[in-house]
Copies of this chain bind each other. A is one copy, B any other.
Amino acid sequence: MPDRIYNFSPGPATLPQEVLAQAAKDIVNFHDKGIGLIEMSHRSKEFMAVVDETEALLRRLMDIPDNYKVLFLQGGASTQFAMIPMNLLGPGRKASYLNTGTWAKKAIKEANIVAEAHVAYSSEESTFDHVPKTDDFTVDPDSEYLYLVSNNTIYGTQFADFPQSDKMLVCDMSSDILSRRFDIRPFGLVFAGAQKNMGPAGVTVVIIRDDLLDRAPDNLPTMLRYKTHADKGSMFNTPPCFAIYVVGQVCKWLEKIGGVAAMEEKNREKAAILYDMIDATDFYKGHARPDSRSLMNVTFNLPSPELEAEFISQATKEGLDGLKGHRSIGGCRASIYNAFPRQGVLDLVAFMKKFEQAHR
């Protein structure tokens, strides 16, 4: 086993080594203060500074305007599937949803529990191999928002451009936040579990336009109201301190290497290396339609499930780990988030060539 494997896991996923090293140090003795990071009161000035800095970094990196709140919540994206309609809709109100994969479907299910979700588009019939263009669907005029998943981890599809709509957008960016530039102004709410591009599992970043905070019905429990957390700077109760800290460290690393624009360039290059390999042969076949290909999750098949199993097994032995596709579609998937190194992509391509020669 090499000192460090290449981890193609879809999440939790590869983090920058310097972030891990810093976290290891701070866990035992934070800034040499004689106390470990995970022992510190969340209301200590040292930890409050961590939260403030993490928010400031996210605001700079994503160019978030002042009329948006940045919240650090718990419960993962799955909890947001419910909190969004609980806060923004409620009984008798509706929103439009683009059904582009498993996570969109789950969000639709939760919206229908507390309100009404209108499915404006679905790519389910073609095994979610693409995302729609703006002209491909019509948003219900009574919708409060248009909901979409920017990157579909399981199927390896991604919106290259966001849809145009007169409704505000609400977006699950769990698997591509901070990976490319975008203008947040058409969005009422953007959220992302941290465990792919931002940090460890355990914190969900919610960015919400402040005029939406007062929409929640009176009978919503306190912890499920965005306003509760916005009013207290994510400190209404004890936040997931360690996960927030790591998000801050990842943001620092990202800023240091040139921010989101530089990251996007690297991500485009990494993905191109892999897709070029797939397109150069008919041994490997991409799952996503070329116009919907994800820069984060590259999904592909081999000529048979047996060869796929052999491919994954051999790759693991060579230190290329986590290439098994999601159980719902099988095949292979290489998740190459922000912190995944270019060299790992080159090594995977070299392995793919070798494997093809041996097995075609």
Contacts and interface: CB of A to CB of B under 8 A. Distances in A.
A20 to B, nearest CB: 5
Interface in A1-38: 1-5, 7, 9-15, 17, 20-21, 23-25, 27-29, 32-36, 38
Contact of A75 (B23, B42, B74): B74
Nearest to A174: B238
A114 interface: yes
A202 interface: yes
A98 B2 CA distance: 57
A222 B24 contact: no
A350 interface: no
Given A33-B1, A75-B75, A78-B237, A12 B42 contact: yes
Contacts of A32: 1
Given A24-B28, A41-B11, A82-B224, A202 B240 contact: yes
Nearest to A9: B41
Contacts of A239: 201
A113 interface: yes
Contacts of A33: 1, 5
B241 A38 contact: no
Q: Indicate the member of A4, A17, A77, A200 with the most B CB atoms within 10 Å.
A: A200
Given A113-B221, A221-B82, A239-B201, A13 B35 contact: no
A341 interface: no
A59 to B, nearest CB: 23
A208 to B, nearest CB: 18
A38 B24 contact: no
A238 B12 contact: yes
Interface string A215-244: 000011111100000000000111111110
A75 B81 CA distance: 15
Contacts of A236: 78
A39 interface: yes
Nearest to A47: B12
Given A33-B5, A246-B38, A202 B12 contact: no
Nearest to A41: B9
Interface in A49-84: 74-79, 81-82
Interface in A70-118: 74-79, 81-82, 86, 106, 109-110, 113-114
A195 interface: yes
Which 8 A-B pairs give the minimum distances between C-beta atoms?
A82-B221, A202-B240, A38-B200, A74-B74, A5-B34, A24-B24, A78-B237, A9-B41
Given A20-B28, A114-B221, 18 more contacts: A3-B29, A3-B34, A4-B35, A9-B39, A9-B40, A12-B39, A12-B241, A13-B39, A15-B36, A27-B27, A74-B75, A74-B79, A77-B237, A78-B223, A86-B221, A195-B238, A202-B203, A202-B243
22 contacts: A1-B32, A3-B34, A5-B35, A7-B40, A9-B40, A15-B38, A34-B319, A74-B74, A74-B75, A81-B221, A82-B224, A86-B221, A106-B222, A109-B222, A110-B223, A195-B238, A200-B241, A201-B242, A202-B202, A202-B240, A202-B242, A242-B242
